[in-house]
Amino acid sequence: MTNETQDFHAEYKVIGGKLVVADVETDGQVITDLKISGDFFLEPEDAYFDLAPALLGASVTADNSQLRDRLDAALAKYGSELAMHGFSTADVATVVRRALGSAADFTDFDWQIIRGEVLPTQVNVALDQVLLEEVSAGRRAPTLRFWEWDDTATVIGAFQSYVNEIRPEGVEKYGVEVVRRISGGGAMFMEGGNCITYSMFVPPSLVAGLDYQESYVFLDQWVLAALKGLGVEAFYKPINDISSTQGKIGGAAQKRLRDGTLLHHATMSYDIDADKMVEILRIGQAKISDKGVASAKKRVDPLRSQTGESRADIIETMASTFIDRYGANPDTYTDAELARARELVAEKFGTEAWTHRVP
């Protein structure tokens, strides 16, 4: 009995590098044929002809590190003569994994984009859960939404300690709404107009073959491109910080459902009152030391000072960049989605039990 031959194809644009393409054939168990191509540079030329053979016979379930180890072993004989420009063996492993996982590209989906109405922060946080579940259930297409709000709030990560992150005296002084979100990551100080927050609701196939860290950079390439268009040389600082040569701009966080449907969202500072922020948030010395800066205030470099643009114009540039790259149709929240979000505020996000679930 012979196993059925299966063919797979994937393309992967290396972040800051070149395009790597994989055409993979398997018998359902192992890789039986493979072609690696792209616009990368590789010396000596003979090394190119060792890439594909290195992965023949590899299990179709081999992970990135296993594939990378096979490639590294095959190229080790070239020693210091080996020069890979615009890609690495890790990138070859990634594109092969994406091929085997039948990875999709942004343009394979009919994206919706929501430039939403002003809503309380609690409702915005609840909408992340609602829209994630709607995309997972197939009732909503993949969606990018920009938050709008006019209250003063601090949104804390799913696993952060309320006591360790929040200064009660600052919360009381400024009338801050503290809301716990469903994703991990750190706290966000959010006054109306002081930052830019967006959420993406992503099908599993879009991030197939990417590890956790790679998915962050991959999903935010359009953001980095938009910022570059505004004169900001932005880049990712692992795992989830969006930074520039002038300092940290913001951070991203994710939440995955069991079926792999992904919430990816980020908040970038626009014009944050750093003095007020440190009255509300406890920013520990360990975090400050880890970032290599002298004070918490220096961790925030607003987009206003880096671009000279209004918040609305920056959001317009971001939305236009996304649409130009991937295509997207204007959309709104449905009445049912908003109603469900408000139910979740009453049942979950507005409750003491949820907000203080990690005391």
Please report the pLDDT score of residue 25 as a whole number. Answer: 98
Longest dimension (CA), the chain: 74
* Cβ atoms of residues 300 and 272 within 8 Å: yes
pLDDT of residue 293: 37
* Inter-residue contact 187 to 280 (CB < 8 Å): no
- As beta bridge partners, residue 115 has 146
- Listed in sequence order, the DSSP H helices in the chain are 48-55, 64-75, 89-100, 121-137, 162-165, 168-174, 212-219, 221-229, 274-280, 285-291, 303-307, 311-326, 335-344, 352-355
Per-residue pLDDT of the chain (359 residues; tens, 9 = 90+): 457 899 999 999 998 899 999 999 999 999 999 999 999 999 999 999 999 999 999 999 999 999 999 999 999 999 999 999 999 999 999 999 999 998 999 999 999 999 979 999 999 999 999 999 999 999 999 999 999 999 999 999 999 999 999 999 999 999 999 999 999 999 999 999 999 999 999 999 999 999 888 899 999 999 999 999 999 999 998 888 999 988 889 999 999 999 999 999 999 999 989 899 999 999 754 443 344 334 455 555 589 999 999 999 999 999 999 999 999 999 999 999 999 999 999 999 999 999 999 99
How far is the C-alpha of 316 from the C-alpha of 302, rounded, in Å?
17
CA torsion sign for 313, 314, 319, 322 is positive
Which pLDDT value is given to residue 290? Answer: 43
pLDDT the model gives residue 216: 94
pLDDT of residue 231: 95
Measured distance CA(257)–CA(305) in Å, rounded: 37
Sequence-separated (6 or more) residues with CB below 8 Å from residue 171 = 154, 178, 280
pLDDT of the residue at 301:
58
Both tokens of 57, joined, read: 């016979």
